[in-house]
């Protein structure tokens, strides 16, 4: 059974009714490691896990659609949140010992996500919960979104440096949109917010961002005014997406094509850095100092942009601060995967040394500026990448096409649906340097994080296991 790796960008919002708390009752001494079936190169006789058996805590009926495990690489911590948001525990990446625990104010019917963000002051852990306050006495229960920001280097009994309680009306289905340097809270439709609250984890400050008119260049044959909607937040500001509605008519021969693009804060606009001949840009994810975008030549404005086998998609790594192109590759896919703002956030990672970047089904060697596609063809299956090591070795889950939203969106890693177990997945190991791929033995787990010292972080069901390099 392949590792359960959850969406970092919200949009898959299955309700969770789980009562199990895999962190409850854990001691300061890590459990003897469960021996998961993992790729060669990891020592399952050593390391640690949160349980001695993957069956022992397999009682939770499904994920909330948000990540319950995150890694703080600078602090060398593995963070695990209970599904109901009742506790967060930080483990030493190398030893498995409990470094700190955090117990937030209680919420009922909570859907929980835990995220790690990097800033000038270091790493912070963000516990985000959608739920209801517990009514008592004359106080009625109400829906709320709570955000707790905890320093990664907290003492054993951690406290929140910032606590936000964002009341929401009953008819508002809020969601979280998180990158490693930004956080938005608000309803989402097709990867964008009409209105959201941007939260600065470093200060706890919040501000409202919403759809607004902006003037951009490169709309077909000239500038135009478009409506730009927030998609996700970054260290360079909120990334907003837009689609040109006026001043173009591609149905007429030699007419100017319509533009679909994005703006990064006040720093740059996609139309000013678009690859030659490209008029459709979709921001897929952010990691570190890079933004990954998908580019097409034109937009029919009838169907969502897709990675298909008929037209090539150019996947580009941009410098987040300037928009400069750092690497790119042309890909096709036999699976016709929808390209949506933020859809590849959960599968976008840098190697610890920063030399390699993976995103969705593509990997990039940033030193050479070249990329490789691990997408499907008529005879091969696509690979959704989960992590990449310092030598360019990456791991992934073989893409399984079904009727769920998660498998139709490009870059969205599989999650457990409410009331189901983690589906069995085939897995693979690839080389981002050469573009070669090799299937792993049946039922092999793949790491969700590969540390610089060789440790691999694995998760299956409610069990987190960390093995050193063998």
* Per-residue pLDDT at 138 exceeds 70: no
Structure tokens at 417: 């649906």
- The long-range contacts involving 248-253, CB below 8 angstroms and separated by at least 24 positions, are 248/219, 248/220, 250/298, 250/299, 250/300
Burial zone of 469 (CB within 10 Å; 0-12 exposed, 13-18 middle, 19+ buried): middle
Burial zone of 221 (CB within 10 Å; 0-12 exposed, 13-18 middle, 19+ buried): exposed
At 416, is the pLDDT very low, low, confident or very high (cuts 50, 70, 90)? Answer: very low
Question: Tens of pLDDT along 44-97?
Answer: 999 999 986 555 443 343 345 688 899 999 999 999 999 889 999 999 999 999
pLDDT of residue 110: 87
Are 130 and 103 a contacting pair, CB within 8 Å? no
Structure tokens at 43: 């020592």
| Bridge partners, 183 (sequence order) | 178
* Per-residue pLDDT at 22 exceeds 80: no
Report which of 191, 201, 281, 188 is spatially closest to residue 234, judged by C-alpha positions.
201
pLDDT of residue 277: 85
Backbone angles phi, psi at 212, to 5 degrees: -150, 155
Question: Tens of pLDDT along 305-341?
Answer: 899 988 889 999 999 999 999 999 999 999 989 999 9
Q: Which whole-number Å values give the CA distances from 4 to 63, 66, 341, 365, in the listed order?
A: 10, 11, 23, 26
Structure tokens at 382: 């696509």
| Bridge partners, 175 (sequence order) | 186
Region at 338 (left for phi over 0; alpha for psi -120 to 50; beta for the rest): beta
Cα distance between residue 333 and residue 380, in whole Å: 10
Beta-carbon contacts of residue 72 (< 8 Å; ≥ 6 apart): 78, 79, 90, 116, 123, 125, 152
Mean pLDDT score, 347-366 = 98
Cα distance between residue 360 and residue 413, in whole Å: 8
């Amino acid at each position: 059974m392949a590792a359960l790796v959850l969406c970092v960008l919200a949009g898959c919002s299955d309700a969770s009714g789980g009562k199990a708390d895999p962190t409850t009752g854990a001691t300061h001494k890590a459990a003897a490691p469960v021996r998961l079936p993992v790729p060669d190169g990891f020592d399952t006789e050593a390391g640690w896990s949160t349980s001695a058996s993957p069956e022992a805590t397999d009682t939770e009926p499904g994920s909330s659609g948000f990540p319950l495990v995150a890694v703080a690489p600078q602090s060398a911590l593995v963070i695990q949140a209970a599904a109901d948001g009742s506790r967060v525990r930080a483990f030493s990446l190398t030893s498995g010992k409990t470094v700190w625990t955090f117990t937030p104010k209680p919420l009922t019917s909570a859907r929980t996500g835990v995220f790690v963000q990097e800033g000038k002051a270091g790493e912070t852990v963000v516990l985000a919960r959608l739920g209801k306050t517990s009514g008592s006495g004359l106080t009625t229960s109400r829906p709320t979104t709570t955000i707790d920001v905890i320093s990664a280097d907290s003492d054993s009994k951690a406290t929140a440096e910032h606590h936000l309680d964002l009341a929401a009306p009953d008819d508002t289905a809020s969601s979280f949109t998180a990158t490693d340097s930004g956080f938005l809270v608000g309803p989402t439709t097709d990867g964008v917010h009409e209105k959201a609250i941007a939260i600065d984890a470093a200060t706890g400050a919040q501000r409202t961002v919403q759809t607004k008119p902006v003037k951009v260049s490169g709309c077909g044959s000239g500038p135009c005014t478009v409506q730009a909607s927030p998609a996700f937040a970054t260290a360079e500001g909120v990334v907003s997406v837009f689609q040109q509605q006026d001043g173009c008519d591609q149905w007429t021969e030699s007419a100017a094509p319509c533009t679909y693009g994005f703006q990064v804060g006040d720093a740059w606009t996609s139309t000013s850095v678009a690859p030659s001949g490209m008029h459709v840009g979709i921001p897929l994810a952010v990691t570190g100092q890079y933004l990954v975008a998908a580019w097409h030549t034109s937009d029919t404005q009838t169907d969502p942009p897709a990675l298909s086998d008929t037209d090539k998609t150019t996947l580009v790594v941009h410098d987040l601060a300037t928009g400069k192109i750092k690497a790119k590759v042309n890909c096709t896919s036999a699976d016709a995967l929808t390209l949506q703002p933020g859809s590849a956030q959960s599968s976008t990672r840098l190697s610890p040394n920063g030399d390699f970047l993976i995103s969705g089904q593509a990997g990039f060697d940033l030193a050479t500026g070249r990329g490789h596609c691990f997408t499907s063809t008529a005879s091969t299956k696509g690979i959704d990448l989960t992590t990449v090591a310092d030598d360019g070795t990456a791991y992934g889950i073989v893409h399984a096409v079904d009727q769920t939203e998660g498998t139709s969106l490009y870059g969205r890693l599989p999650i457990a649906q409410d009331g189901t177990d983690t589906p069995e997945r085939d897995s693979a190991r690839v080389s981002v340097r050469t573009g070669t791929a090799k299937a792993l033995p049946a039922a092999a787990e793949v790491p969700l994080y590969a540390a610089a010292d060789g440790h691999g972080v694995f998760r299956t069901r409610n069990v987190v296991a960390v093995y050193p390099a063998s």
